[in-house]
Every structure is written in structure tokens, then in C-alpha cells.
Amino acid sequence: MPGRSAARNHIKFIFMLLIISSLILTLARPQFGSKLMDVKRQGIEIIIALDVSRSMMAEDIKPNRLERAKQAITTLINRMQDDKIGMIVFAGDAYTQLPITSDYISAKVFLANINTEIVSRQGTAIASAIELGTKSFTQDTEASKVIVIISDGENHEGDAIIAAQNAAEKGILVYTIGMGSPQGSPIPLRSGLAQGGFMKDRNGSVVISRMDATMLSKIAAAGNGEFFSASTGNVGLNQLYNKLNKLNKSEVESKVYSEYDDQFHYFIAIALLLILIDLLIFERKNPKLDRFSLFGK
């Protein structure tokens, strides 16, 4: 092929390498320079105190009271944006399961691990849960603070009404959600994955666990909050969250982020320019230019 130019093929090959390199740099999305951004988050702080006593395994709310409550809490977390959340579990004692945080992913992980075996001592110490929740909020913040008690209301330990009053005096609202029905339901006994009958009292009678709406209503009233009764299809957290959204939101967190400027558009421009030049370079010799000899005699 006498008309083919070897030099031009080498030049086009070099251009192709430069084009590919520019496209790779474009896809890498290089960023140079930075600017500081102060991001402030406004919201409220919510402590959820979840009853994990054995009575929460009653199945008058499907699949059972505890699992239905956990599903509702997950839905609540999914709706949160700039608020902070913490979790307390309680039965005969109360323990912090998750310190107050804005890390919603961690909150879901901790929530998934909650079961009735997480607290060894049985009972329903609502007062202890409220007292622990009162101490668990962020110090020196003006954000609205809320404690949400999720329980069947069978309070056996301490004076929950006095604890709720003490919390209200500190500006903390106490809401309650009753899990279960007034008619009640027996408490299943499980051995591994198999069900082994129902819990019985000392006389051999099957224990019926009933939701104590009266007690939970009194606790909520003492804490300047409100009582919600759960049902199979609605636990009450949606109504609660709508009310919480009306509370005054204050700055709960302020962070400074470094934001970098994208520079990839320079490399895409170089790639387009090189492609255009490559299209203008032909592989065959130009007869009109062959008459010129720049280096000949």
C-alpha cells in the first residue's frame, strides 16, 4: 500500500492513547481544591424504652407484641431525618441498648438484636426505664426531649407516675404506647424454635397478659405526653411521629465538611478535542503535501 503513511499511523496511535487516558481520568472524577461547609442539623431527641418482658411475647398482636413493636420502630427510624434516637430495654431492670445518636443504620442493627432474653431479671420496671431515659439525653442542648414507653403496661416495679412527673419537670415529654388488647392473651413458652405451651401461675392456671391502658394513660398524663393504643395494623408510632414533628426543633448537631470541586470536565474537553484532531488525520498520504520537502535539498 504505497499510499499509506506509517508516520500518521504512529501519530493516530499516540492520539488514541491520549484519548483513552483522558477518558479514564474523566471517569475517575478528579477533585482539586476544597471549601468548608458548616452543616447544622435541627431536630429533637427521642429515647425509645422498649419492654422486653416475657409478656411481650403474647400474640394478641401478630406476630407478637415485641416483634410488632420492633417493626414499628424500624418504620419510625426510616422516617427520621435530623432527629437523634436512643434505645433502652427494660424488664425487671432497665439498660441502655443504644446511646443517643443520629446513626440510623446502627439503630436498626441494635434493634434487630433485641429479644426477651436480653434482660435476665423479669418484671416491668417502667419507672427505671423513665429514670434511665431522663439521664440519657445530650447535655447542654435545647432540643426537645421525648421518652417513648412501649409496653403492655403491666407495671410491677417502682412508681412510674412519679418518674414521669420528675421527667416532665425537666422539660422531658413522656409518651406511652400500649401493646396488646384489654382482653389479653396467654404468654407462649418457647424451647428454641418450638412452642412449648403457655406460662402458668403457681396454681397451674394459664397466665393471661392484658394491656393496662389505665396505667399507661396515667404515666403519659404525668409526663405531659399522650397515650396511644396499638392494634394489629397500627402500633401508634405514626400518630406519635406526627405530633413530634410539631415540637420545637433546635440544633442537635453541627459539623464542618470539606467539599471538593469536580475537575473532570477539563479532561472530557481534552478527550473531545483529541478525538476531533484524530478524525482530521488521515491514514493515507496527502498527494498535495508530497510536493513539499521540508528537509530535502
292 has pLDDT over 70: no
pLDDT range class, residue 192, cuts 50, 70, 90: very low
Query: Which segments of 145-206 does DSSP mark as H helices, in order?
Result: 160-169
Residues spanned by the domain of 201: 40-253
Asked, for residue 101, whether it belongs to a domain, the answer is: yes
Backbone angles phi, psi at 117, to 5 degrees: -90, -5
Per-residue pLDDT for 190 more than 70? no
Distance between CA atoms of 178 and 150, rounded to whole angstroms? 6
The H or E element that residue 65 is part of is helix 65-79
More confident residue, 93 or 204: 93
Examine the domain organization and report whether 23 and 63 are in the same domain.
no
For the cut 70, the answer to whether the pLDDT of residue 254 exceeds it is no
Let me know whether 170 and 267 are in one domain: no
Residue 109 C-alpha cell reads as: 442493627
1 — pLDDT class (breaks 50, 70, 90): low
pLDDT of residue 294: 47
Can you give the pLDDT at residue 293? 52
Q: What is the C-alpha end-to-end distance of the chain, expressed in Å?
A: 27
**237 and 273 share a domain?**
no
Question: Given a cut of 90, is residue 168 above it in pLDDT?
Answer: yes
The cell numbers describing 45, all together, are: 431527641
Q: Is residue 180 within 8 Å of residue 239, measured between CB atoms?
A: no
Residues 62 and 158 reside in one and the same domain: yes
Q: Is residue 23 part of a domain?
A: yes
pLDDT at 121 over 90: no
Quick: pLDDT tens for 46-95. Answer: 999 999 998 899 888 888 999 999 998 998 899 888 889 999 999 989 99
Give dist(CA 171, CA 275) in Å, integer: 68
Give me the chain's average pLDDT, please: 83
pLDDT at 39: 62
**Measured CA distances, 137 to 99, 171, 199, 238 (Å):** 8, 12, 37, 22
How far are the Cα atoms of 68, 69, 231, 241, 281 from residue 234, in angstroms, in the given order? 9, 10, 5, 13, 71
- CA distance linking residue 124 with residue 94, whole number of Å: 9
Residue 96 confidence (pLDDT) above 90: yes
Which CATH number do you get for residue 67?
Answer: 3.40.50.410
Whether 183 and 282 share a structural domain: no
**Mean pLDDT in residue range 174-203:** 79
pLDDT digits (tens, 9 = 90+) for 221-252: 999 999 998 865 566 777 888 888 888 776 65
Q: Are residues 141 and 100 in the same domain?
A: yes
Q: 257-287 pLDDT, tens per residue?
A: 556 677 788 888 888 998 888 888 776 666 5
Taking the CA of residue 235 as centre, how many other CA atoms within 13 Å lie in the half-sphere pointing to its CB? 28
Q: How many residues does the chain have?
A: 297
Tell me if 297 is assigned to some domain: no
User: Would you say residue 296 lies in a domain?
Assistant: no
Residue 228 lies in a domain: yes
CB 217 within 8 Å of CB 227: yes
User: CA-to-CA distance for 178 and 151, rounded, in angstroms?
Assistant: 5
The pLDDT confidence band at residue 193, using thresholds 50, 70 and 90, is very low
Query: Bigger pLDDT: 137 or 37?
Result: 137
d(CA 184, CA 85): 31
Per DSSP, 81 falls in state S
User: What's the domain count of the chain?
Assistant: 2
160 or 285, higher pLDDT: 160
